[in-house]
Chain A
Amino acid sequence: MRLGRSMRALSVALTIIGLMALWQIICWAGSIPEYILPPPSDILLRMIEDADSLYRHSLITLWEVFLGFAMAVVIGIPLAILLVYSRYISQSFFPIIVGIHCVPMVSLAPLLIIWFGFGLLTKVLIAFLISFFPIVINTTVGLRSMEKEMLNLAKSLRASSAQTFLYFRLPKALPSIFGGLKVGITLAIVGAIVAEFVASEKGLGYLQLMANSQLDVTMEFAVIFTLGIIGIGLFNLVGWIERLSMPWYHATRKEAD
């Protein structure tokens, strides 16, 4: 299994290297000017040159992502539990949640700026609002996925409703909850960047906006690469926590593959 994972990492790395090489060749062969599409070698060099600035702005974006995501988890999961257990809440709140999700964040951002200013809070709120939805939906679906047979088992063992939740419903929902968290964390990044585009003097979104205004396409790509790395990293971090907390689940999936 360990070997399998490192093999997979290797194949991912090789694929990325292959795509980069192709890109590099296209840039050379087509002699595409650098202000349209810089070759990856330039982008990577630029990332090393400006590592310091990229690192500082990354930390700021990461912090916004982390806070927004944490908020989405802390509010989203309990809300999903309420949605599952209360008919009233599921009927009255659910349409509102769906409605909020359908509003593009770009159109909400100016409002939030008016209310909360240009500071951290606005960005955290936008990251929260966008990552909140998949977490709520997936948790709700997961909590509702308990079959009749398992409920009958819980009843026949005379489990209390708290026990039915903790011993049966919640563990049963974990795979689905983690699915939501994986989508949620990537959306939190999107949220933070959108917020930084609209209102910011720091963060990766700001850095990219600045580069864009100076027509510094290489720097823009350097930021995009950094974002990609952060995205893959955070996604895998959630995946790692998932594997740790559900050893039984991944093994089952592997059989199915």
Chain B
Amino acid sequence: MLGKRIELLDAEKTFKARSGPVQALRPIRLAIEESSFVSIVGPSGCGKSTLMNMIAGLEPTSGGEIRLAGQSSRKPQEGNAIVFQKDVLLEWRSVLDNVLLPFELHHITWFDRRSKRTNRELAMELLEMVGLAAFADKYPFELSGGMRQRVSICRALIQNPTLLMMDEPFGALDALTREQMMYDLLKIFDKYKFTVLFITHSIEEAVFLSDRVVVMSPRPGAVVRDIPIQLERPRTIDTRANPAFQKHVQEIRDVFKAEGVLKEV
């Protein structure tokens, strides 16, 4: 199965704030190929979340068009799954029930005839993959921040997405958990081959994970660089030591320096 292709045709966004209009995104023209892993990096407030929300159909565009798999899209589409910056687990549901929520909302009884898997088993498999099978019956408050975010990733994956969008999903995690989550995510990506739109502050994270890194300017956001990452997959712990990795990281730093985002004293 293949991921969705994303096309932004001069999609832009201006918020109507009380103090007057706020331009968050300049018209953006961007195409993301099916089944590729694309990261968006940019300074805080440059409109990354807004961009993702527009693609997800959660925020209307103020101009231009967004196409998903060739179709013009304005509403949340089937096959889109989102991992939000905050895990947004439902505190009143067990871990397993949180993962099963998308099925429950659509009255889907998932029953693959060949493998005879039920919804529950599928959810358990996902939890197993992220190492949380033993916590299936616990409530979210019994989990650490990293565990909670892994549950929310399972909740996204169970939708069998063709487009996975993640808005700084590891932002709240400590460095070690964060690194482990990156390896897990790459493993999942290699297995499912959906399209991934990954939003992050971290240059290293973007380079390590992506096929392409899109660099944005400060607000009003615009694409200032679009960098294909030439690093083989699968990526491993040693990838960071690769000179090509360092070169890409430096390249993006230089863009931020030129944009005035990073200043030396």
Contacts and interface: CB of A to CB of B under 8 A. Distances in A.
Interface of A: 149-150, 152-153, 155-159, 163, 167-168, 171, 174, 246-249, 251-252, 255
Given A156-B80, A158-B78, A171-B90, A255 B56 contact: no
A171 B92 contact: yes
Interface of B: 53, 56-58, 76, 78, 80-82, 84-86, 88, 90-92, 101-102, 104-106, 139-142, 159
Contacts of B57: 155-156
A159 B86 contact: no
A253 to B, nearest CB: 10
A159 B105 contact: yes
Given A168-B90, A248-B92, A157 B141 contact: no
Nearest to B142: A251
A152 B92 contact: no
A249 B91 contact: yes
Interface centre among B80, B88, B102 (most CB of A within 10 A): B88
A168 B90 CA distance: 8
A157 to B, nearest CB: 5
Contacts of B84: 149, 152-153
A248 B139 contact: yes
B82 to A, nearest CB: 5
A167 B106 CA distance: 12
A170 to B, nearest CB: 10
Contacts of A159: 105
Given A171-B92, A174-B92, 4 more contacts: A149-B86, A156-B76, A251-B141, A252-B141
Given A167-B101, A255-B141, A156 B92 contact: no
Contacts of B141: 248, 251-252, 255
Contacts of A246: 92
A152 B81 CA distance: 12
A55 to B, nearest CB: 40
Nearest to B81: A156
Given A149-B86, A246-B92, A156 B58 contact: yes
Contacts of A255: 141
A26 to B, nearest CB: 46
B149 to A, nearest CB: 13
B106 A158 contact: yes
A157 B80 CA distance: 9
Contacts of A152: 53, 58, 82, 84
A157 B92 contact: no
A144 B183 CA distance: 39
A56 B65 CA distance: 74
7 interchain residue pairs of minimum CB distance: A248-B139, A252-B141, A171-B92, A153-B88, A156-B82, A149-B88, A156-B76
A171 B159 CA distance: 23
A158 B88 contact: no
Nearest to B75: A158
A158 B105 contact: yes
A43 B224 CA distance: 83
B248 to A, nearest CB: 31
A155 B85 CA distance: 16
A248 B95 CA distance: 12
B105 A252 contact: no
A154 B90 CA distance: 11
Q: Which of B81, B84, B102, B105 has the most CB of A within 10 A?
A: B105
Contacts of B140: 248
Contacts of B81: 156
Contacts of A248: 91-92, 139-141
Contacts of B90: 167-168, 171
Contacts of B85: 149
A4 B101 CA distance: 34
B76 A158 contact: yes
A63 to B, nearest CB: 33
A36 B102 CA distance: 67
Contacts of A158: 76, 78, 105-106
Contacts of B88: 149-150, 153
A118 B49 CA distance: 63
